[in-house]
Chains A and B, each alone.
Chain A
Amino acid sequence: MLEFPWREGQLHLFQLDGHLLLFDVASSSLFQIDEAAWAILKEGKTSPLDVALARAREKFGPKAEEAFYELKLLSLKGLILAPDPALNAQYAPFPYLKALCLNLAHECNMRCSYCFAGQGTYGGERGLMPPEVARKAVDFLLERSGPLKRLEIDFFGGEPLLDFSVLKEAVLYGKERAEKMGKEIRFTVTTNCLLLSEQVGEFLNKTNMRVVLSIDGRKEDHDKNRLLINGKGSHDLILSRIRKFLSSRGEKLYYLRGTYTAETLNFLDNALYLFDLGYSEVSMEPVVALPNEPYAIRAEHLPEIFRQYELLAKEIDRREREGRELHFFHFEVDTTGLTCVSKRLSGCGAGVEYLAVTPSGSLYPCHQFVGRSDFKMGTVWEGITNQEKLEEFRHLSFLEKENCRTCWARYLCSGGCHANHHLLSGNLKKPDFIGCEITKKRMECALYLKLLRRERGKGSAKERTEGLEKESNI
């Protein structure tokens, strides 16, 4: 049923590079529209049906009638102004665990200036995870996973390859135990690449592990922040490790992950640099920092950041027209195969479905909460002892978050990152403005890239991802 004025957060109308786009929030449908349709919908945000149509008719004549008729039909089909499936409901996830982040090392062999983890220590003591803690963490995940079949473990730090033997043991132990229980664990490692030797690479390839390789891009930008312990830049060393490793990997299941800061806002150059080195999987993330840090991203940086994302979408399109296939992580939004609404309401699942484990076996809601003592939830030995915290996170859907209920991006970002909200606003339910603005702009550019790809007759992001998954037998 078409109702004007439509409510805030039902539709998102936006223009990019002269194209008019409409995203229907509840049905997750994306349209390119013409000026007559745009005029009706724009006016319909504040005016009743007859007024919106009359104003559009003044400018577009019979075309406005035609667009209005089509709009009504698409509304009947549930593709535009579809009823919201969740606004009057509450869907708390089951307290089953499906993913663990194992901080194998609260220690690092680099000294990156912007590190949110305090150069690996998270504000505590340096240390490596003993094998018995890693094994116990695997047991804890499997035992707490209930009926879930697909589980995940991500190795993180500090630098998780500082003790490769523990990583190896956890993977082999996890695979064996999961198989006996009829489950499957997917493993990922995030590394600064310094210890990415041939032997390590062989193991990662053989076990089909996903890898996230940290590199910020061009030497001059990377070396501003990603420093070795001796204070020297790490770019050349890291790039040589990445080249060797990826040549053995066959271009699958990896991302080159960079961080941009207020001092390196030109992430476009850095993403293109990585693409132009011949790699197709790239991610660039805004730094996580308190506002008083000189490298923290502030509101005045947003226009430049938006410009960078727009240019990046166009540059990716240009290179793809020349025959490349490129994936920028945040532009690979798939609206055709989304997870169901219950999952999209509950977000990343931190504190409930997803927990982080420190080297001593303490549990936190996610890797970013590690070291914030109020958020300690228990240990792998005792299990969850802080039930109150578990329940708090279990009910932390976007329906509970300030401004999210009426935000057009709510089903795509699910209320965003709890840890960032807490760090920047001191409140889990209060999203940080800058993070939200960046997320929304990235979504717009991702949707725009879909239009460009469709014009070229290219498959969806999901179809291309499925190709990768099949190739690697995952």
Chain B
Amino acid sequence: MTILSEKIDTVHFKLIETPKKDLKKVWDCRDCSSSCQSACKTSCTLANQVCQRENE
């Protein structure tokens, strides 16, 4: 078992991606954009939305 300091790769589990923040800590800042202002305009989802505050 090897846990690398940042990547958290182990023998059987290779971490590809995980959030950089605790998703519960920034409740309701509501500065994120509306998902409908995006490229789809139909079948809208939030999958492409990222936290705007993090970009500051």
Contact = CB atoms under 8 A, between A and B. Distances in A.
Is this pair of chains taken from one and the same complex?
Answer: yes
Contact of A33 (B12, B17, B50): B12
Contact of A257 (B28, B37, B41): B41
Interface stretch (A23-31, A169-177, A241-249, A271-279): A23-31
Interface string B16-56: 11111101111111111111111111111111111110110
B3 interface: yes
Contacts of B38: 329
Contacts of B4: none
Interface string A21-42: 0100001111111101100000
A229 interface: no
A154 B34 CA distance: 10
Contact of B36 (A32, A99, A285): A99
Interface in A340-376: 340-344, 347-350, 353-354, 366-368
10 contacts: A28-B18, A28-B23, A30-B17, A99-B37, A154-B37, A339-B49, A344-B23, A416-B44, A416-B45, A420-B43
Contacts of A116: 42
Given A338-B51, A366-B36, A70 B10 contact: yes
B31 A334 contact: no
Given A337-B54, A414-B35, 9 more contacts: A73-B3, A148-B30, A156-B41, A212-B41, A412-B45, A412-B46, A416-B45, A439-B43, A465-B50
Interface size classification for chain A = 35 or more
Given A73-B3, A74-B8, A343 B47 contact: no
A191 B41 CA distance: 12
Interface size classification for chain B = 35 or more
A283 B16 CA distance: 24
A438 interface: yes
Contacts, number: 221
Contact of A412 (B24, B28, B32, B47): B47
Nearest to A98: B34
Contacts of B24: 85, 340-341
Interface string A131-156: 00000000000000000111010101
Contacts of B28: 91, 93-94, 340, 342
Contact of B18 (A33, A79, A285, A286): A79
A281 B43 CA distance: 18
Contacts of B18: 27-30, 79, 335-336
A190 B38 CA distance: 9
A413 B45 contact: yes
Contacts of A93: 28, 30
Contact of A435 (B11, B25, B43): B43
A341 B27 contact: yes
Given A148-B31, A413-B46, A339 B51 contact: yes
Nearest to A86: B24
A188 B41 CA distance: 11
A77 interface: yes
A239 interface: no
A96 interface: yes
A368 B40 CA distance: 12
A156 B38 CA distance: 12
A290 to B, nearest CB: 14
A84 B45 CA distance: 20
A255 interface: yes
Contact of A347 (B11, B31, B46): B46
Interface stretch (A2-10, A262-270, A315-323, A446-454): A446-454
A34 B52 CA distance: 35
A450 B17 contact: yes
A443 interface: yes
A332 B48 contact: yes
A259 B42 CA distance: 10
Interface string A434-463: 010011000100110011001000001010
A66 B43 CA distance: 42
Contacts of B3: 73
A396 interface: no
A70 B31 CA distance: 37
Nearest to A34: B12
A257 B51 contact: no
A330 to B, nearest CB: 7
A6 to B, nearest CB: 15
Contact of A149 (B31, B35, B47): B31
